[in-house]
Structure 1
Amino acid sequence: MEIRDQQRVLSSFTARLLRKHFGKGPESVFVSVGEGIICIYLRDLQTPVEKVLIENEQYSLLYETRDSLMAKCLPELKEQIQEETEQDFPYFYYDWDMKTNGGVIIAATDEFSNRPEDPALSEIDKLVANVTKKTERLPDKVKSVRLNNRTLVIYRQGILVNIEKEIIRVGETKVLRRAKRSLERRALREAFDKESQLLQGAAQEVFVDWAFEADRSMIVVIIDPNKME
């Protein structure tokens, strides 16, 4: 199947899937397909109940609810992606920005983590490595892939420090994820705003998620190519 056909099918399927489980589908779904990776960017998914939670700043409950819903959605999405691409995508990541009402779902293969670094994006790799070093440790691996002029995906491996590994071992990943999401998003956003020329545009949204057991992380930067900070 051609990439455009894959994008169309996965976009339609994702919208229906989220509508079934969330009770409301996203207003728009944009699917970007690369070698070993698929990025699904969502806009305007908030339900009326979620809007009330946001108004009352009950973000912990909001994220926990979405995690529960995504636990039901991801197996169906994984099956559909495998059917359309004839590839196995063992790693899934997702994140939400409640202020912009945007979100991403990332599916990645092992081949993506082993692909060579792109020399054209080496400065972005260095920037992300330095930010990660300040918040955690210097990553064992960083690689950036530009899926299109609006979607930059950054893979990291080997970023957890010992205290984080212990928190994961005792099963407190929810607390760790909330703390890391806030810290890393803020640090990454500040770095991208200062070095917007590397993005060839302004960072519109920054998403980040982790596969803690595998010590892997995925960052997605949604770029406005017509604007510079």
Structure 2
Amino acid sequence: MSNEIITTKIKGIIIELFSKSFGESPKNVHVILDERCLVIRLERFMGEIIEELILTNDYDALRSTRELILDFLLPDFLNQLRNFSDLEFDSFYYDCDDNNLSGVITGLIKDNNYQNNEDYYPGKEKIHLQICKITYEVEKVPDFTYSFWADKNTFVIVREGLLIEIEKYLIRLDGENALRTAKRTLEKTRFIEDAYTSAILNRRLAGIYLDWTFELDKSILVYVFEEK
């Protein structure tokens, strides 16, 4: 089955799941699939419920609600995906953008295909150095950094080997949720404020999404850029 057919089916599943579960579908669903990853970008995917939370300025409730929504739908989505595709994933990540009411779900294809299928693009070395610099400011330099373009506007960075000892200990104490909240607040702010990456790529940033799988000590950073 071609990627085009699979992505069309995935889009249909997402729209159906949201409509069935919440009575409202995302305003737009954009699906990207290649040999390295699956990226699903959702725009305004909870409508009035999310907008009401924004009006109350309760950003913690906003973030928690949207993460619960994605966490709730992911198992059902994967079950339906297995019915027509043999795609297998090592890990899934998701994050939301408070400013434009969008969300991104990213799945890394099994066997870490991104490691052997990196892109070579102008400024890559500078990008990796900047990513390592920012990461070091809040934790440590990643053991490995990989990057590639999922499509012409979606730039994916995978960092491996990030956790310091106190973070690993916090996870053992069931502090994963607190750690995720703290890291997302701190790290994401740094990456949003970083204009150097966009300047190197000569692109205007539309959104940035960040998540981790702590058991694998791995992180996904997704940059979405405006159309040129």
TM-score normalised to structure 2 length: 0.90
Q: Which residue of 2 aligns with 1:10?
A: 10
Distance 1:215 1:4, change over 3 A: same
Q: Which residue of 1 aligns with 2:183?
A: 180
Q: Which residue of 2 aligns with 1:133?
A: 136
Shift of residue 33 of structure 1? 0.8
Task: Name the SS for the 1:86 alignment partner.
Answer: coil
Amino acid corresponding to residue 224 of structure 1 in structure 2: E
Q: Which moved more, 1:206-215 or 1:55-64?
A: 55-64
Shift of residue 182 of structure 1? 1.6
Instruction: Measure, in 1, the Cα distance between the counterparts of 2:42 and 2:143.
Output: 30
Q: Does 1:123 align with 2:126?
A: yes
Amino acid corresponding to residue 179 of structure 1 in structure 2: A
Shift of residue 32 of structure 1? 0.8
Q: 1:1-229 alignment to 2 at 5 Å?
A: 1-109=1-109, 110-120=111-121, 121-191=124-194, 193-226=195-228
Paired residues in the alignment total: 225
Identity among equivalent pairs (%)? 29
Instruction: Measure, in 1, the Cα distance between the counterparts of 2:87 and 2:33.
Output: 12
Amino acid corresponding to residue 220 of structure 2 in structure 1: M
Post-superposition Cα deviations, 1:148-193, rounded to whole Å, max 9, x if no partner, equal 11101111111111121122111122222122112111211222x2
Instruction: Measure, in 1, the Cα distance between the counterparts of 2:72 and 2:106.
Output: 16
Instruction: Measure, in 2, the Cα distance between the counterparts of 1:86 and 1:16.
Output: 21
Task: Name the SS for the 1:13 alignment partner.
Answer: helix
Asked if the contact 1:78–1:89 (Cα under 8 Å) also holds between the matched residues in 2, the reply is no
The gaps in structure 1 that reach 5 residues or longer are: none
Amino acid corresponding to residue 112 of structure 1 in structure 2: N
Distance 1:140 1:113, change over 3 A: farther
Instruction: Measure, in 2, the Cα distance between the counterparts of 1:200 and 1:4.
Output: 29
Q: Which moved more, 1:80-89 or 1:178-187?
A: 80-89
Q: Which moved more, 1:118-127 or 1:143-152?
A: 118-127
The gaps in structure 2 that reach 5 residues or longer are: none
